[in-house]
Amino acid sequence: MNALAATSRNFKQAARLLGLDSKLEKSLLIPFREIKVECTIPKDDGSLVSYVGFRVQHDNARGPMKGGIRYHPELVLKLRSLQSPLQYVIIGVFPIIAYIRTRSVESGLLQNLVDPDEVNALAQLMTWKTAVANIPYGGAKGGIGCAPGELSISELERLTRVFTQKIHDLIGTHTDVPAPDMGTNSQTMAWMLDEYSKFHGYSPAVVTGKPVDLGGSLGRDAATGRGVLFATEALLREHGKSISGQRFVIQGFGNVGSWAAQLIYENGGKVVAVSDISGAIKNSKGIDVPSLLKHTIEKRGVKGFNGADPIDANSILVEDCDVLIPAALGGVINRENANGIRAKFIIEAANHPTDPEADEILSKKGVVILPDILANSGGVTVSYFEWVQNIQGFMWEEEKVNNELKTYMTNGFKDVKEMCQTHNCDLRMGAFTLGVNRVARATVLRGWEA
């Protein structure tokens, strides 16, 4: 089941539990706006290349729409069979017909299309996530189908600026506030801010996840990983446990996974296995996370770390542990591997890591899953703090950022538990009913039928 189908299924189950009117249910599911733009840039060698950029703006009932911009090849369909020097590809996925004008095909040009279902699902997920976190946003998501590792810094800058030029009228401080995502970073946001400001004047609150020197918030880099820590603490406390002494397996050692590992280690947790794109390692006595972090910086991956033994990366999810943290791509826990999972708790640091079929299998096994729309909401919560600081023109100390984040994550868990008790459901459906209910109430109060 793809991400859009799974997210829509969870939404419909929540809508049934809440007894939502069918017309309101349909209104909440349909995106507010879907944008598709052509982004043509000159490459460093002088040739021209075109990419397709998307922005799906899902809902704005509770405030400006919010969501990441990702540059990633796994989100794309690559058109490898373009024959003529000038060709038009008609796309009817969205309500509008868009075209891609391709040039320099003879030189091996590949056109990349962002998978619209993936972007749509992530935009919808952001609507429910911001509502669960109780921050005044709706959901959005965007991206450009490209392989950022194959582009130079100057090419990435040109691509980002062209994309911003195409969507600047449709984003804004009180309209839609982008942030970094897979394949993008604070530098990407700095380029977006600069390009947007050429049209609208200096507007630091138009994007979040910026460099601190341009109005970024202290604590933003660690925010998602720190939020995972606070959410895990809340869940374990509910079961009479603490971070200290628990055995953790972390799949994915990028920004989120590495920060989660570091903070878990500092709080007495034992990280026994870790994986990333380079491979996987295990030490049943506990990995020295600070040493591993130094190694990954030097070697660009966990592979070869001498403080642990190498293992098959495909086995990372079924390693023996107390807490499993998938912090990589979606759909990694499925019906094929769910029966083999030995963790008692799963903390979804990635977006949509667990398929609905796996959910059912794990539920029967008694595995407790903390869903992504709560577990990884630390990033968007601190993005909200950054937005607030930019609007006020008053920046916070990092300690205040972290303390506020802990309050929001802890309150979010309590609110989800209350919905679980009200509707006699698991944590995922408790989170979805909480998020959907808050958005539905705001929609009705604003007069959606007018």
Using DSSP's 3-state secondary structure scheme, residue 144 falls into strand
Query: What does DSSP say about strands 65-71 and 176-180: parallel, antiparallel, or unpaired?
Result: parallel
CA-nearest of 449, 443, 435 to 132 is: 435
The amino acid sitting at 238 is: E
Tokens of 261: 């590992």
Q: Is 255 annotated as a binding residue?
A: yes
417 annotated active-site: no
The Cα 109–Cα 85 span in angstroms is 10
> What is the C-alpha R_g of the chain?
22
The Cα 143–Cα 115 span in angstroms is 9
Q: Is 84 annotated as a binding residue?
A: no
The Cα 353–Cα 373 span in angstroms is 11
CA-nearest of 245, 249, 224 to 236 is: 245
List 54's β-bridge partners, or say none.
36, 143
Q: Is 284 annotated as a binding residue?
A: no
* Cα angle for residues 314, 316, 319 (degrees, 5° grid): 130
Map tokens 């079924």 to a residue: 318
Tokens of 411: 């309150």
Using DSSP's 3-state secondary structure scheme, residue 9 falls into helix
**Which one from 36, 141, 270, 282 is the annotated catalytic residue?**
141
Q: Is 208 annotated as a binding residue?
A: no
**CB 323, CB 234: distance < 8 Å:** no
**CB 179, CB 390: distance < 8 Å:** no
Helical ranges in 138-211 per DSSP H = 153-167, 186-200
The Cα 320–Cα 146 span in angstroms is 37
DSSP code per residue over 57-104: E---SSSSEEEEEEE-GGGEEEE----SSSEEEEE-SSSS-EEEEE--
Cβ neighbours of residue 370 closer than 8 Å, sequence gap 6 or more: 231, 232, 235, 345, 346, 347, 348, 427
Q: Is 224 annotated as a binding residue?
A: yes
**CB 439, CB 28: distance < 8 Å:** yes
Using DSSP's 3-state secondary structure scheme, residue 48 falls into strand
* Cα angle for residues 168, 177, 127 (degrees, 5° grid): 125
CA-nearest of 183, 145, 110, 150 to 38 is: 145
Annotated binding site for substrate: 66, 129, 383
Annotated binding site: 66, 129, 224, 255, 383
Annotated binding site for NAD(+): 224, 255
Q: Any idea which residues carry the catalytic annotation?
A: 141
